[in-house]
Amino acid sequence: MNLLIIILGMLTFIVVAIAKFKIHPFITLILAATMVGFLMGLEGAVILDKISEGFGKTLSSIGIIIGFGAIIGAFLEKSGGTATIAKNILSVIGDKKSPLAINLTGILVSIPVFCDSAFIILSSLNKALSKKTGIPVAVFAVALSTGLYVTHVFVPPTPGPLAAAAALEADLGLVILMGLVIALPTAFAGYLWAVKFGSRLTETAPESGNEMDEMVESKANLLAVLLPILMPIFLIGLRSMTKYPSHPFGDGMIANTLSFVGHPLPALFIGILLALQLVDKKTSIKERWSWVSSALKEAGVIILITGAGGAFGSILRSGNLGELIEAQFTALEVGIFLPFILAALLKTAQGSSTVAIITAATIISPMMDVLGLDSELSRALTVLAIGAGAMTVSHINDSYFWVVSQFSGMNTKTTLKTHTMATLIQGIVAILLLSGLQIILK
């Protein structure tokens, strides 16, 4: 019970430090790990060893992957690849269903590009479509924000689910596959809310130039743009298949080759090579390297937070947390609902989905056995349950909330009614789908 009090106290400390006092999550998590260690009675030397071990072990598995993913996202953004995806989906679905096209665009774009950056990139397209169709801009804003959000929390190589998969030792290919399965209906739930509520609003975007032409003008074709996103996912999926008990690719050279190229490092590096082909030949080498530098700076912050989360988890695993949870929760059979609730509380309290995912995953990691979530399938479902919690809900303490609000011209009240309510619905829909999937696949 003392350990439970310590953990609850540290969660409170993490939330207050990040949300109220604006202390950086990296510093907060390292401080929390240190304090928990001392409160648990560990010696100073042991605490330092555990922090270093957890930090290093976490980054050894995903640090490079996060960097590679950020580079792919940067080249898609700078080359106009995101506009190409939007243009092609719009041409298939048409203007009448253009909010659905924007929703689907968000699902694809947010796999390599952080959701807030992607929203900023595509916000001009929202305004242009609003003027062209007469549909309120809020409909497009929420359709886009909810589409971007699902892959941000469910589908690696986005840093949050990638870190959770590493912390819980879940199969990455299985997480990607199941994440995509859950992402589609969850995004559609956000789209339905956007259409239902947003249609009550009357304002469209103000006249401000010819954004539609600017956004859809792109020199890359759709296949070239999609390859940097889909090829790594395809290769990682093939690698997971090589591990199936039936050995569909045998156990010789083919299986070994697929196992190598399907590892996230080679797979994402191939994605980078494909993304390089999108760049206009007139773009200087210096400018291309500046894109890489900018992407890695952004990724560096996420990498540090992820490593700090691993350090916090390493300290927690030093206690008898598993025994505590077994005594308190096993009889309740909470299963994947406990990771969901924990992530939802963290998200709602401190704002960052990535921090909520990483923190929840490190806390849940030592409990997997006693919660009955130690199978390969259960580990993947737990990663996604944490992701579902980490989207519940996005409100005024979330930077993404303000990106959606400011770049759509919606006031705070309207954004709370549209975007925030949509993320609540999405989180509930996602955990219900996951619990149903768990029952079906058992």
| Alpha carbon separation from 39 to 76, 307, 325, 334 (Å, rounded) | 47, 21, 19, 28
Give the pLDDT of residue 329.
56
pLDDT in tens, the chain (442 residues): 577 788 788 878 887 888 788 888 899 989 999 998 999 889 999 999 999 998 998 788 678 888 888 898 889 878 888 778 777 877 888 778 889 999 998 998 888 777 887 887 777 778 778 887 888 889 999 999 999 999 999 998 888 899 999 999 999 999 999 999 999 999 999 999 999 887 666 554 444 444 444 444 445 588 888 898 889 888 888 887 887 767 788 888 999 999 999 888 899 899 999 999 888 888 899 999 999 999 899 888 878 887 888 888 788 777 765 556 555 555 556 789 989 998 998 888 777 888 889 988 988 888 888 888 889 999 999 999 999 999 998 988 788 888 888 888 888 888 888 999 999 999 999 999 999 999 998 7
Instruction: Kindly report the backbone phi and psi dihedral angles of residue 351, in degrees, each rounded to the nearest multiple of 5, phi listed first.
Output: 100, -40
* Cβ–Cβ < 8 Å for 124, 215: yes
Give the pLDDT of residue 323.
58
User: Could you give the CA distance from residue 71 to residue 166 in angstroms, rounded to a whole number?
Assistant: 21
User: Could you give the CA distance from residue 303 to residue 290 in angstroms, rounded to a whole number?
Assistant: 20
Type and span of the H or E element at 426: helix 421-441
Give the pLDDT of residue 399.
80
User: Could you give the CA distance from residue 72 to residue 215 in angstroms, rounded to a whole number?
Assistant: 19
Q: What sections of 20-80 are H helices per DSSP?
A: 25-39, 44-79
Residue 320, classed as helix, strand or coil, is coil
Map out the domains of the chain as residue ranges. Answer: 2-441
User: Could you give the CA distance from residue 116 to residue 410 in angstroms, rounded to a whole number?
Assistant: 16
DSSP string, 249-267: TTTSHHHHHHHHHTSHHHH
Q: What residues have CB less than 8 Å from 196, skipping those under 6 apart?
A: none
280-309 burial, b if ≥16 CB within 10 A, otherwise e? eeeeeeeeeeebeeebbebbeebbbbbbbb
Nearest to 141, CA basis, from 352, 350, 401, 339: 401
Give the pLDDT of residue 182.
97
Give the pLDDT of residue 330.
53
User: Could you give the CA distance from residue 355 to residue 18 in angstroms, rounded to a whole number?
Assistant: 10
DSSP string, 187-226: HHHHHHHHHHHHTT----PPP-S-HHHHHH--SS-HHHHH
